[in-house]
Amino acid sequence: MAKLGKRTRAAREAFAGKEDITIEEAVSLIKANANAKFDETVEIAMNLGVDPRHADQMVRGVVGLPNGTGKTVRVAVFARGAKADEAQAAGADIVGAEDLMEAIQGGKIDFDRCIATPDMMPVVGRLGKILGPRNLMPNPKVGTVTMDVAQAVTDAKGGQVQFKAEKAGVVHAGVGKASFDEAKLIENIRAFVDAVSKAKPAGAKGTYMKKIALSSSMGPGVSVSVESATGN
């Protein structure tokens, strides 16, 4: 624990006094201080000027990161017949119908993304209280309720990231790994920020993007200039 404390202190000292820096500076700082024994995820958190309790201020969407997430994504698909075969062929980890519903009801949730064909939604709908809080509920707005299950599985495994504003108007996601080249991380971050920017809801008033912060899994966070992130 002493070694971990020493490393944490060193990281905090390196980050001290640095606020509203450019994406380039932030990525360089994070990579230099991501010293855990595993490949840390680089995470983004965005404070938005919205109140998602109001339907016209909900921020939700999906973005394909150009350089992937570096994470192995396990995909579950609710489908029957030929569509189940398509999902399996595309690389889905779990494919099922009522049997999959029962497994989830029993507490077995060993997947990161859930996809369903439209005809399966009456079955999936019974899992709302389980999948909803985990942000796993299939939704046509982010392409996870679809007849094209093969493409949805491919997208999920190829670096597609979903985002949704939480109660305080915060959106967060993993945008790559600390082992990524700086240029690839920067490209991913800009793609994510651009997608959130384009998802600005009609009911948003005043400043939309209030604050952006980057961090690694085990490291402190650093605030990034909104102008630097958006290119404005």
| Segment 64-111, tens digit of pLDDT | 999 999 999 999 999 999 999 999 999 999 999 999 999 999 999 999
Whether domain 75-157 has CATH 3.90.45.10: no
Phi, psi dihedrals of residue 141, rounded to the nearest 5°: -65, -25
Whether domain 19-69+161-230 has CATH 3.30.190.20: yes
What local confidence, expressed as pLDDT, does residue 10 receive?
62
Q: Which residues contact 159 (CB under 8 A, 6 or more apart)?
A: 64, 65, 66, 67, 68, 69
Binned at pLDDT 50, 70 and 90, residue 35 comes out as: confident
| Segment 49-73, tens digit of pLDDT | 999 999 999 999 999 999 999 999 9
Return d(Cα 97, Cα 231) in angstroms, integer.
Answer: 45
More confident of the two residues 124 and 17: 124
Look at residues 69, 72, 39 and name the one whose alpha carbon lies nearest to residue 192: 69
| Segment 112-125, tens digit of pLDDT | 999 999 999 999 99
Look at residues 117, 69, 176 and name the one whose alpha carbon lies nearest to residue 100: 117
| Segment 151-182, tens digit of pLDDT | 999 999 988 999 999 889 999 999 999 999 99
Look at residues 148, 166, 141, 136 and name the one whose alpha carbon lies nearest to residue 74: 136
CATH 3.30.190.20 domain locations along the chain: 19-69+161-230
CATH 3.40.50.790 domain locations along the chain: 75-157
Return d(Cα 231, Cα 55) in angstroms, integer.
Answer: 29
Say if CB 88 and CB 95 are below 8 A apart. Answer: yes
